[in-house]
Structure 1
Amino acid sequence: MKNWTLQKKWTYSSAISIFLSFLIMSIILYFSIYNWMLISEKKTAQNTLNELVLFFESKGPIITIQDIKRNTTLLNQIVNQEQSVRLMNTDGIEVLRINDASNFPPFSKEFSTDFKRSIIDNQLSFHKVAEIQFGTFIGYVEISHSLDNFSRLMKYILSAMFIFAVISLVLSALIGYTLSSVLLKPLKELRNEMQHAKQSKFSKEVSFQYSKEDEIGELLVIYKQLMNEVSETIKRQDDFIYNISHELRTPVQVVEGHLSLLNRWGKNEKEVLADSLEISLNEIQKMKKLIEEMLKLARSENAKNEVATNIVDVLTTIKKEFVSLNPIVSIDISAVETAVVAVPHTALEQIFRNLIENAIKYNDKTPYIQITATKKQQSIAITLEDNGIGIPPEHLPKVFDRFYTVETSRTKSRGGSGLGLSIVRMLVAEYEGIVEIDSIEGKGTIFQLEFPFVSIFQ
């Protein structure tokens, strides 16, 4: 059954379920009819026996054959019901028999209050004995009620039910197959749509239409959303591969060129050797930095940790590092000591480090960076303002995109990879924050970050 189609499963399951339901109802109905008719047969036999006893006792003390023949109503009843009656004395010797349609079992003086069912000469019948007395005669009257008609009728009913069960099985299979064909048609079309999408590498738009608001309609909506996400992911992946290959091609070519230069004739030229080694090492450092930023970006897309980090501690550590490397840099921090956000220390450090690096890197003046952290009603607002060269307004909406650079020439000259701000946005979004940018070309840039409140003021 694992390899069966949904239509086949539906057809078989509906056929079997309907057949079993009909079979159970037929069994219940059969036994209900069986018991009801059996009780009816007993009542008929009991009525005949009661009338016989009443007849013999009312006609006593002397009864003749002519008296019995004159009671045509009773005789017709016995004959029509395929009953047999015998009259016996106290010794069990048969004195009179009326009709011979049904056989009798061996006589027994042990009387039963109910009819006994027995098979005599392959004939099923009810029989019962009653005491009788009229005049000086004391004896017994016994009735044997044939159940042949009852057996034939029950066999006919059973055969009819079996035939109807087979018919119901066939009809339920046909109905199940028809319904499954109709109801599964949208699913088949959706499956074909998915196969076409797979063959076209998810480049084609979804053409399958289904307007009904049911489970299939919901599935189509989810599928369209998924297709949009897959298409967007593939596009981002293609862009990522193209951009990273482009970014790595230049330093690789530079290193390769200088190594070829050294290999040919620069081994003995100390000045050429020193320049080539320095340039190669610089290019390798650029590649290393680019790869590290890519790894950081990939790690930022993993599950976040539930931690709380003090903003002042992180900013103080970063300030010491940057000032020690470049003493002319001025970083002013304004935040209370209890400012805490639900962001891991390394992630928050990475966010501030990228923003500060950009502020220093894209600056034609003495770098000055002012960072403030304030409390809002339900969040922590962090502002980072610099006095750098700024960003043209038309570039602001795209600066957070991966590998996006405002101006290729100035980015290359300053060693930018186009991944820093993308990492910032990804990390901020990962921890349910928001980041906005405002910049004036020639005056500086302001980054505004906001994270959910985690009791920063206690």
Structure 2
Amino acid sequence: MTTPNTFSLKSRSLKFKWTFGASAAIFLTFFLFSFAIYQGIGSMLLDEKDSTVKSAALAASVAISNAGLTNSASDITNTNIGPVVTQNLELRSRLEDQVLVFYDKDGKLIEQYTAGRYNDNAYAKYDYSSYLVKQPTGTISKPTVQGQQMVMYEMPITSSEDNATIIGYIQVVNPMTSYNSMMGKLLATMFLLGAVALFISGMLGYLLAQNFLNPLTKMAKTMNDIRNNGFQKRIEPTVITKDEIGELTLVFNDMMTQIERSFEQQKQFVEDASHELRTPVQIMEGHLKLLNRWGKSDPDVLDESLNASLTELERMKKLVQEMLDLSRAEQISQTKELQLVCVNDVLEQVRRNFEVMHEDFAFTLTEDNKNLHAMIQHNHLEQILIIIADNAVKYSGDGKQVDMHIYKEANQIKVSIKDYGVGISPDEIDKIFNRFYRVDKARSREVGGNGLGLAIAKELVSGYLGTIQAESEDSVSTTITISLPLIEQKDEPKKDE
């Protein structure tokens, strides 16, 4: 049986993780900085101790040389050296808490001296002869004596006659009591400051987490309100910020607006579709009831009801197909089944087809530019143009003319289709691309259509990164213009004959 992990960052809140991370980072920075200071001060003090023992040894060597005790090895005695050490103020001032030891040429202890106030200390009475290094030059070492690290400097005493014969040795021992005391105090101070820094870093980390995560907390609360009360709620930023959280807030609000708009459109679509389907269903229901009562024996009633039912059934079939087309138009993929299509050719084909279908209309085509190509499925482009041209025919009224115009503007292909019919008022011009919207509902019912054509065209054009817009003069004319990205065609090199 495995025991559960008592501490796991994965199971903690984001606020705890942020507080822990910020505290750890701040404390680690302080720790590394303090460690560097501690090591730097320690190294500096050790270098100072090296200089101190060297200077004390040199001062002792000068003192006995000035006293004339370096002529021969017989001069290096306790009787001769003692008065020199005790009477030389400069030498005694350099000793401080250090131990000055003299040895004969064979390394035998002669005497060791300290400043008077340190005579009772253990290190002043210890025999350091076992640490003597007999070398012709000065040497420094840092042995551990009785569990305490010390700094020692040994230098030979040479004869004044030839400056080469070793007649004794001088040893200076520094027990580093001041160093250890200072480093101990420094370490204790750093531990105390470390505890204070840990507390401050924890509080600072918590405040930072509280400040940074407050917008996320508000966002979570808003999401919960949205889940319970609908999509009307928004995050209201108290301060306009340009950081990632401020950007996230703006993106969230924009996303909620789009979702709310989408749900409203879906709701409106369902309501409109239900309304549009209810009328033919009611008509068919009435005729079927009529058939059930009278049509079995009356051929006229039977014929009328069947024709009416078939007409309404055809309307329902067309409506369902248009709704399916609209759904597919909203899911156009920009990476599949794309074709490089010559828009001029497709527009000319649509114009000819409409000339055959509507012989009483005049269809004109003006081409400012030839061979304009767009990346779009051929059938989608044809469907867009047919929808617009069909609307132009339906709402032309007595003006039996439709003008088509294709041209290039910057990096866009523009195609406009203009009719000379009933026109659209400025109040309704922006609504004609909405689903099930009809400018004149009574007349639209007469000419046919369910108000989905331009909505399908808009979705198709938008799916191919294009735009569609309408311009109209009420009771004069209406122009629908679509724009598609232009794909420049490179001239193919001619092959050698």
TM bucket normalised to smaller: 0.7 to 0.9
RMSD after superposition: 3.7
1:181 to 198, 210, 217: 210
Moved more, 50-59 or 394-403: 394-403
1:370-389 pair list within 5 angstroms: 370-375=402-407, 377-378=409-410, 380-386=413-419
Q: From the superposition, tell whether residues 361 and 83 of structure 1 become closer, same or farther in structure 2 (CA, over 3 Å).
A: same
Question: In structure 1, how many angstroms separate the alpha carbons of the residues matched to 2:389 and 2:417?
Answer: 8
Unaligned runs of 5+ in 1: none
Partner of 2:56: 48
Partner of 1:73: 89
Asked if 1:354 corresponds to 2:387, the answer is yes
Secondary structure at the counterpart of residue 115 of structure 1: strand
1:332 to 354, 358, 363: 363
Question: In structure 2, how many angstroms separate the alpha carbons of the residues matched to 1:127 and 1:121?
Answer: 14
Moved more, 60-69 or 407-416: 60-69
Q: From the superposition, tell whether residues 30 and 102 of structure 1 become closer, same or farther in structure 2 (CA, over 3 Å).
A: farther
Asked if 1:96 corresponds to 2:111, the answer is yes
Verify the 8 A CA contact 1:132 1:138 in the aligned structure 2. yes
2:342 to 310, 314, 318: 310
Verify the 8 A CA contact 2:392 2:402 in the aligned structure 1. no
Cα deviation digits, residues 20-68 of structure 1 (max 9, x gap): 1111111111111111111111111111111222222222255536523
Partner of 1:195: 224
1:124 to 141, 149, 153: 149
Secondary structure at the counterpart of residue 139 of structure 2: coil
Q: From the superposition, tell whether residues 312 and 227 of structure 1 become closer, same or farther in structure 2 (CA, over 3 Å).
A: same
1:340 offset after TM fit, Å?
2.4
**TM-score relative to the length of structure 1:** 0.82
Cα deviation digits, residues 137-159 of structure 1 (max 9, x gap): 92222232213442343233223
Question: In structure 1, how many angstroms separate the alpha carbons of the residues matched to 2:54 and 2:346?
Answer: 105
Partner of 2:103: 87
1:455 offset after TM fit, Å?
6.4
1:104 offset after TM fit, Å?
1.2
1:310 offset after TM fit, Å?
3.0
Question: In structure 2, how many angstroms separate the alpha carbons of the residues matched to 1:78 and 1:437?
Answer: 104
1:17-416 pair list within 5 angstroms: 17-59=25-67, 60=69, 62=75, 64=80, 67-68=83-84, 70-71=86-87, 73=89, 76-77=92-93, 80-90=96-106, 92-99=107-114, 100-104=124-128, 106=130, 107-110=132-135, 113-133=138-158, 138-204=167-233, 206=234, 208-215=236-243, 217-255=246-284, 276-301=305-330, 302-304=332-334, 307-319=339-351, 321-322=353-354, 326=357, 328-336=359-367, 338-342=370-374, 344=376, 345-362=378-395, 368-375=400-407, 377-378=409-410, 380-386=413-419, 391=424, 395-416=428-449
1:408 offset after TM fit, Å?
3.1
Secondary structure at the counterpart of residue 153 of structure 1: helix
How many equivalent pairs are there?
A: 452
1:389 offset after TM fit, Å?
5.4
Question: In structure 2, how many angstroms separate the alpha carbons of the residues matched to 1:112 and 1:278?
Answer: 129
Instruction: Look up the equivalent residue of 2:264 and give its one-letter code.
Output: K
Secondary structure at the counterpart of residue 208 of structure 1: coil
Unaligned runs of 5+ in 2: 1-8, 115-123, 492-497
Identity %: 27
Question: In structure 2, how many angstroms separate the alpha carbons of the residues matched to 1:406 and 1:124?
Answer: 101
Verify the 8 A CA contact 2:59 2:91 in the aligned structure 1. no
Question: In structure 2, how many angstroms separate the alpha carbons of the residues matched to 1:303 and 1:440?
Answer: 37
**TM-score relative to the length of structure 2:** 0.77
Asked if 1:438 corresponds to 2:472, the answer is yes
Instruction: Look up the equivalent residue of 2:59 and give its one-letter code.
Output: E
Partner of 2:3: none
Q: From the superposition, tell whether residues 422 and 343 of structure 1 become closer, same or farther in structure 2 (CA, over 3 Å).
A: farther
Question: In structure 2, how many angstroms separate the alpha carbons of the residues matched to 1:371 and 1:32?
Answer: 89
Question: In structure 2, how many angstroms separate the alpha carbons of the residues matched to 1:126 and 1:77?
Answer: 18
Secondary structure at the counterpart of residue 324 of structure 2: helix
Partner of 1:418: 451
Verify the 8 A CA contact 1:119 1:125 in the aligned structure 2. yes
Question: In structure 1, how many angstroms separate the alpha carbons of the residues matched to 2:296 and 2:138?
Answer: 128
Moved more, 45-54 or 159-168: 159-168
Verify the 8 A CA contact 1:391 1:445 in the aligned structure 2. yes
1:293 offset after TM fit, Å?
1.9
